[in-house]
């Protein structure tokens, strides 16, 4: 498709992307042992700022939505440079305003480089950081390092009234002290958290494989802590989604999960990832991109690739009659190509949690939102 026909095609194209992840670099000042991305001090990839700005503009201008998330990630995105981050955020805000697009901007950071410049940019452009911290300095240092710097960064964000969330990687060591960890978050005024089960890491790094019983135990502890919270302030999103999905299913009402957990996870259809080379992938999670369609030059090509993928999608046979299907996030639906065995433990944990919710919420179909 060339010339006039291509221009007409691009003018008429509308995308449904509600979350655009932009990987600015694979450079990072840490080398987390369970990191699934090819990131670390050795990283050399840096996105072209003009290409990124142009793709953000095209995303907003061709959007069929009136709102969306733009999330900067890496590697460590602050290593892309504060001046570059400031320019991209400024341009994105201008384009969103011209198109009457309600834009929310996030940045996923390891939290070790939160300085005055970072705070100023977040305030100026209303950027919401997501900070990786494993809930305990000793555990954090074992897998990531610089835990004390992260705690200092979190407190800096709090003292400057910057809205943020914390992402915790669930490890075996944290489960016995999970209640204390959740108490610490509450005491520090950190209420928006997400505790993630680790994905598949490269062979050169280590990712813990938790048992189904361990996964269930963690979810039960999180649920009971949120239920005990007198003012219902602390909200762990993964368990909260499961509980609300359970309640909705019991009441036979529609329930829409978050962008990665809708019926077909949204990869390539509702979410997209712009990589440092300027091309698009269906998913930002590097452990899940191998084998998925990618390398798209623009969102129109990505939509075509994703549609072809989802039209040929087949779920595991074990899911078809599973009663816990209503609350399951399927360990990432697009990742099914890797086989059920990769998610067998998580599957067991979900079934145990479903049976637990039947006991404690059978006559309590009320959201804990």
pLDDT band at 77 (very low <50, low <70, confident <90, very high): very high
User: Is the confidence at residue 209, as pLDDT, over 50?
Assistant: yes
SS3 letters for 313-350? Answer: CCCCHHHCCCHHHHCCCCCCHHHHHHCHHHHHHHHHHH
pLDDT digits 0-9 by tens, 2-25: 444 444 444 578 999 999 999 999
Site of tokens 């994703």: 306
| Spatial separation of the C-alpha atoms in residues 103 and 171, rounded to whole Å | 34
pLDDT of residue 229: 78
pLDDT of residue 202: 53
In angstroms, what CA-CA distances link 298 with 65, 116, 178, 274?
A: 18, 35, 43, 9
Chain centroid to CA 202: how far?
Answer: 19
What proportion of the chain, given as a percentage, has pLDDT over 70?
A: 84
Average pLDDT over every residue of 66-94:
96
pLDDT band at 291 (very low <50, low <70, confident <90, very high): low
**Pairing verdict, β 271-274 and 280-281:** antiparallel
pLDDT digits 0-9 by tens, 167-195: 999 999 999 999 999 999 999 999 999 99
Lowest mean pLDDT segment, chosen from 74-88, 140-154, 325-339: 325-339
Lowest mean pLDDT segment, chosen from 2-11, 131-140, 205-214, 289-298: 2-11
Q: What is the mean pLDDT of the chain?
A: 85
pLDDT of residue 367: 42
Per-domain residue ranges for the chain? Answer: 14-361
pLDDT of residue 259: 44
Cβ atoms of residues 165 and 193 within 8 Å: yes
Cβ atoms of residues 238 and 221 within 8 Å: no
- CATH among 3.40.50.150, 3.20.20.70, 3.10.20.740, 3.30.70.1450 for 14-361: 3.20.20.70
pLDDT digits 0-9 by tens, 21-61: 999 999 999 988 887 777 888 888 999 999 999 999 999 99
Site of tokens 């950190």: 190
| Spatial separation of the C-alpha atoms in residues 236 and 216, rounded to whole Å | 15
Lowest mean pLDDT segment, chosen from 76-80, 159-163, 329-333: 329-333
């Amino acid at each position: 498709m060339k010339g006039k026909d291509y221009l007409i095609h691009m003018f008429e194209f509308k995308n449904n992307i509600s979350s655009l992840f932009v990987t600015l670099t694979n450079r990072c000042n840490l080398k987390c042992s369970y990191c699934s991305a090819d990131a670390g001090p050795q990283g050399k990839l840096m996105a072209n700022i003009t290409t990124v700005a142009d793709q953000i503009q095209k995303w907003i201008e061709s959007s069929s939505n009136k709102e969306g998330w733009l999330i900067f990630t890496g590697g460590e995105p602050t290593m892309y440079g504060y001046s570059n981050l400031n320019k991209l955020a400024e341009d994105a805000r201008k384009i969103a305003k011209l198109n009457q697009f309600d834009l929310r901007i996030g940045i996923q950071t390891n939290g070790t480089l939160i300085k005055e410049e970072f705070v100023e940019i977040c305030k100026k452009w209303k950027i919401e950081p997501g900070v990786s911290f494993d809930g305990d300095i000793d555990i954090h240092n074992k897998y990531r390092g610089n835990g004390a710097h992260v705690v200092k960064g979190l407190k800096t964000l709090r003292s400057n009234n910057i809205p943020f969330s914390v992402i915790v990687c669930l490890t075996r060591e944290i489960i016995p002290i999970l209640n204390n960890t959740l108490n610490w978050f509450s005491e520090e005024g950190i209420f928006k958290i997400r505790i993630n089960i680790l994905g598949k890491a490269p062979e050169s790094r280590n990712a813990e494989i938790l048992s189904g019983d361990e996964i269930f135990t963690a979810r039960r502890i999180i649920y009971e802590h949120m239920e005990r919270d007198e003012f219902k302030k602390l909200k762990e999103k993964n368990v909260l989604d499961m509980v609300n999905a359970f309640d909705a299913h019991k009441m036979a009402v529609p329930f829409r999960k978050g962008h990665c957990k809708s019926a077909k996870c949204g990869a390539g259809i509702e979410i997209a990832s712009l990589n440092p080379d300027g091309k698009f992938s269906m998913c930002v999670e590097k452990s899940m991109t191998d084998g998925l369609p990618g390398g798209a030059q623009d969102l129109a090509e990505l939509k075509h690739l994703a549609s072809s993928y989802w039209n040929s999608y087949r779920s595991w046979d074990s899911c078809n009659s599973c009663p816990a299907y209503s609350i399951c996030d399927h360990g990432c639906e697009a990742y099914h190509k890797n086989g059920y065995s990769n998610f067998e433990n998580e599957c067991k944990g979900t079934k145990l949690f479903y049976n637990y919710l039947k006991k404690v919420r059978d006559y309590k179909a009320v959201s804990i939102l």
